[in-house]
Chain A
Amino acid sequence: QVQLQESGPGLVKPSQTLSLTCTVSGDSISSGSYYWSWIRQPAGKRPEWIGRIYISGTTDYNPSLKSRVAMSIDASKNQFYLNLTSVTAADTATYYCARVTYSSSVLYRDWGRGILVTVSS
C-alpha cells in the first residue's frame, strides 16, 4: 500500500521560501502510472491545487501561484518537492502531497497526512 509523507519546516518567515519534501513508499515514483501533486488547505477552507509533476519532470501549476512555485522530482530517492517563494501569511495552510490519476475525472487517489506550515515572523 502506498504511503506519502510530507516533511519540512513548520514555520517560515515572511518573504522567505517554503520548501517541502514528499517521500513516497510502497510505489515507485518512476513507474509512470501517476502524477504527483501538491495541495494546500488553509484552516476552515477548501483545498487548493498548487500543481503537479510527472516523472519526466513536466509540471503544471495553478496560475494564481505560478510565479512563485517550483516543483521537482528525484526518482532515485522516491521523492518530489515543492518550493514556494516570497511567502506571506496568506500561504499559511496544511500542505498535502498526493498521488493522482486522470481519466474522466481527476482522482487524488492517495494523500499524505499533511504538514501545517505557518508563515510568521
Chain B
Amino acid sequence: SSELTQDPAVSVALGQTIRITCQGDSLRNYYASWYQQRPGQAPTPVIYNRNNRPSGIPARFSGSSSGTTATLTITGAQAEDEADYYCASRDNTGGHLEVFGPGTTVTIL
C-alpha cells in the first residue's frame, strides 16, 4: 500500500522537543519529505532526503528514518512552529504515484 499515516495532533511546551512520525510501506524504498503549513498558506518544505534542510530552514528541524517510519524532530520548539506538518513520499510499485500523509497539527503551549 502507498498510504502514509501520521498521528493527528501533538502538543508541547515552548522549548521542548517535538517528534512527528510518518509510517508507510513506500518509506522502505524512498525517504519522506516534510512540509510545514500555516493557516492560509501554501506548504513549505522543511526536510527532504532523510535529513536535508532547504535553505532558510532553522537547524532545530531534523529528520530520520528507519524501516517504514520517518520522523521529523523539532528540537527546542518555538511559537512560530505551530502549524500542520505533512509527510510526502513517492511509490513506484504500481506506476508513478506520490502521496501525502494526513498531517499532524502541532500546538505549542
Query: Given A105-B32, A105-B33, A108-B35: A49 and B98 within 8 A (CB)?
Result: yes
B42 touching A106, Cβ below 8 Å: no
Interface residues of B (CB under 8 A from A): 30-33, 35, 41-45, 48-50, 54, 86, 88-90, 94-103
A60 to B22 Cα, complex, angstroms: 24
Question: Which 8 pairs between the two chains have the least Cβ-Cβ distance?
Answer: A49-B98, A105-B31, A111-B42, A60-B96, A107-B48, A105-B33, A47-B100, A104-B49
> What CA separation (Å) do A105 and B31 show in the bound complex?
5
CA distance A48 to B49 in the complex (A): 20
Q: Can you name 30 A-B pairs with beta carbons within 8 Å?
A: A46-B100, A46-B101, A46-B102, A47-B100, A49-B97, A49-B100, A52-B96, A52-B98, A63-B95, A63-B97, A96-B43, A104-B49, A105-B30, A105-B31, A105-B49, A105-B89, A105-B90, A106-B30, A106-B33, A106-B89, A107-B45, A107-B48, A108-B33, A108-B43, A108-B45, A108-B88, A111-B43, A112-B42, A113-B41, A114-B42
What total of A-B pairs shows CB separation below 8 Å?
69
For A114, what are the chain B residues with a Cβ–Cβ distance below 8 Å?
Answer: 42
Tell me which residues across on chain B come within 8 A of A49, comparing CB atoms.
97-100
A109 contacts the other chain (CB 8 A):
yes
| CA gap between A97 and B41 in the complex, in Å | 13
Pairwise interchain contact B100-A111, C-beta atoms closer than 8 A: no
